[in-house]
Structures are given as structure tokens and as C-alpha cells.
Amino acid sequence: MKKLIFIISLIIFCSPVFKGYSQESNNGKEVSHFVGITVPDVALIGIEGPEGNEPSINLTPDISGLEAGEKIDFGTATNNSLWLNYTSLVEKQENGNGQGKTRKIKAELEENLPNGMELFLEVGPANSGGGQTGKAKQEKIPLKKGPSIVVENIGSCFTENGEGKGHRLTYSLGVKENQIDMVMAETFSVQVLYTITEN
């Protein structure tokens, strides 16, 4: 008898709890949950040209019409077939004004040029893409072993990918002033390194 009374009491005691939970769960008019969202920090850079990714170019001054006694025009050794592409998503500034951080792109030579020689780079304005694409220097920059800023004020943006997208790169040769006597006939190569970093 005690066992039966205990079971009946347990059913009476528990029924409202189950009933209330069931009504709240099935008959509620609103329900919600959280969605976690992570936007990644992105900084990707690439060089595109007629031959695909990371192509090589050759620079040779034009001596086809050169006559004896004339100065060689090394400025005729130029190439503008390469394009600088990048994608960037920046973090917010810490001061809380809603502005994003900015990035810059630097270019440098991995090794020194032969004596007397100069290699110039000119970066054109971004001609495609969207967002806060960077501002190019748009001047002839003598490349050296050590970074030079060539594009700045890059925010969250993309330039699109491929030849003819982003910033056109124009390379040209030169001879340092009064150092033609240091220039030798030879074939050599140098590597140009581009880096995208935060300001």
C-alpha cells in the first residue's frame, strides 16, 4: 500500500512540471539562437602576366639604330606586361571610430644590381576591383636591396585577378650618373620581392 501511495504521489507531483515544459516548448510564439560569425584577416598578393603566375620579364636596351659615338639609351629597356593583384580584409582600428586598419605594399631587390646599373619601377593606379584599393606612388622608383613603398592606404578590397587587373607594373633600366664606365656587357637576373604589410 505504501508503494502504491508513493507512485500516485510521484505522478501528481511531476505532472505539472512535464505539462508546463511541454506547453512552453511546443506552443511558444518566438524562439532564438546565436550565430557565431568570424570574418578572417586576409592579405594576399600576386603578380600576373601573359605567361601566368609569377612570370619573368627581360629588359634589353634598343641599339638597333645606334651610331658610333652615340650614347646608349638604357631607358628603351622597358616592360609593362605585369600586373599587381591583391585581396585584403583589414581589422578595425583599436580607437573604435569604425575605421579599418590600412596596409601597404613594398617592393625590393633580393640582390644588388651590377655596378652602375639602376632598375626603376612605376606602379599605375588600380584599374579594376572594388573596395578601398590602394593608392600607387605613380612615379619611377629606383629599386634597391631594401624595401620601398609602392602602394599605400589599402583597406578591405580586391583588385580582381589576372593580366590587365589591378596595378600595371612598368620596369625600366637606367645607368647611374657618370657611371657608364662601370657598366659591363653581361647577362644577369635579379629577383623583385613584393610584400603586403600593415601600416
Nearest to 86 by CA among 29, 32, 113, 47: 47
pLDDT band for position 96 (cuts 50, 70, 90): low
Residues in the chain: 199
Mean pLDDT of 163-185: 95
Has residue 73 got a pLDDT over 90? yes
Nearest by Cα to 83 from 185, 144, 169: 169
- C-alpha distances out from residue 124 to 72, 74, 138, 158, Å: 27, 21, 5, 16
- pLDDT at residue number 26: 53
Return the pLDDT at 171.
97
Kindly state the average pLDDT of the residues 83-106.
Answer: 89
pLDDT at 11 exceeding the cut of 50: no
Query: Quick one: pLDDT at residue 55?
Result: 78
Q: Write out pLDDT tens, residues 18-65.
A: 444 444 455 689 999 999 999 999 999 999 998 665 578 999 999 999
Which range, of 53-57, 58-62, 73-77, 119-123, averages the lowest pLDDT?
53-57
What pLDDT shows up at residue 161?
95
Compute how many other C-beta atoms are within 10 angstroms of the C-beta atom of residue 102: 17
Predicted TM-score (pTM) of this structure:
0.81
Contacts of 120 (CB under 8 A, 6+ apart): 140, 141, 142, 143, 171, 172, 173, 174
The confidence band for 17, taking pLDDT boundaries of 50, 70 and 90, is very low
Query: Cell for 30?
Result: 518566438
With 80 as the cut, is the pLDDT of residue 3 above it?
Answer: no
Q: pLDDT by residue (tens digit) across 134-173?
A: 999 989 999 999 999 999 999 999 999 999 999 999 999 9
pLDDT greater than 90 at residue 13:
no
